[in-house]
């Protein structure tokens, strides 16, 4: 593996624990259609493929015939009110970002979350300034697991793909990194659809963002 000159992060499940507020917005949306709320643990296993996929999978779990498009619209309404209100950074994320920034490594976020929610979440978590690039799910690129969003982030950072590390928590992140041609490490605490992290075939499993930062800088 070449020296790492830039780092890309997934957002939900890697930098921030957002499952609670996502489950809350989904429950509020379902209530408008007379549907039962799903447990947060079930919602955690559906996060990562974007809003439409989340809603469709949740409706399938309930066996509901309600049109997904109508629920998506209500979810976006409710999530706009809750995004960033209950989410928090995972332990050591802020330290890891600061460690990398101090060495002036370009950093980026690549997420399937829509732009409006992504920007609001990063602002409310007070980490937006850490990133040279943010590529969101509705920016016009094919979403992860395609590799296009990673390549777009590398272009914005002026970094070579093969020298850019993807840090994520799910199969989507690993597949996207493989498609783009960059190394990929995973954290074990995210939203990997209930699958063990060891099953993903990433290049390395790290316990935290701060550990990843220390390893990257030690090899630089």
Whether 10 is catalytic:
yes
Tell me if residue 11 falls in helix, strand or coil: coil
The sign of the dihedral angle between the CA atoms of 62, 65, 66, 68 is: positive
Which among 10, 12, 17, 173 is annotated as catalytic?
10
Tell me, what's the pLDDT at 201? Answer: 93
Tell me, what's the pLDDT at 1? Answer: 62
Distance CA 119, CA 114 (A): 9
User: pLDDT under 50 in the chain at which residues?
Assistant: none
Tell me, what's the pLDDT at 153? Answer: 98
- Asked if residue 99 lies in contact with residue 7, where contact means CB atoms within 8 angstroms, the answer is no
Give pTM, 2 decimals. Answer: 0.93
Tell me, what's the pLDDT at 166? Answer: 98
Tell me, what's the pLDDT at 68? Answer: 95
Contacts of 148 (CB under 8 A, 6+ apart): 141, 142, 180
Structure tokens, 209: 């963002």
Tell me, what's the pLDDT at 118? Answer: 97
């Amino acid at each position: 593996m070449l020296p790492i000159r830039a780092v890309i992060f997934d957002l939900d499940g890697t930098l921030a624990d957002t499952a609670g507020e996502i489950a809350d917005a989904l429950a509020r949306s379902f209530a408008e259609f007379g549907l039962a709320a799903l447990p947060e643990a079930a919602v955690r296993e559906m996060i990562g493929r974007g809003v439409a996929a989340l809603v469709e999978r949740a409706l399938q779990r309930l066996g509901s015939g309600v049109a997904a498009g109508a629920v998506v619209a209500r979810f976006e309404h409710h999530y706009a009110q809750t995004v960033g209100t209950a989410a928090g950074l995972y332990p050591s994320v802020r330290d890891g970002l600061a460690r990398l920034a101090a060495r002036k490594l370009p950093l980026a976020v690549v997420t399937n979350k829509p732009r409006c929610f992504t920007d609001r979440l990063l602002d409310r978590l007070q980490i937006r300034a850490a990133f040279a690039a943010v590529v969101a799910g509705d920016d016009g690129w094919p979403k992860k697991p395609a590799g296009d969003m990673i390549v777009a982030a590398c272009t914005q950072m002026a970094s070579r793909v093969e020298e850019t590390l993807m840090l994520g928590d799910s199969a989507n992140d690993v597949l996207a990194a493989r498609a783009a041609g960059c190394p990929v490490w995973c954290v074990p605490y995210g939203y990997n659809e209930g699958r063990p992290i060891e099953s993903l075939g990433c290049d390395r499993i790290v316990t935290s963002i701060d550990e990843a930062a220390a390893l990257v800088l030690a090899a630089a």
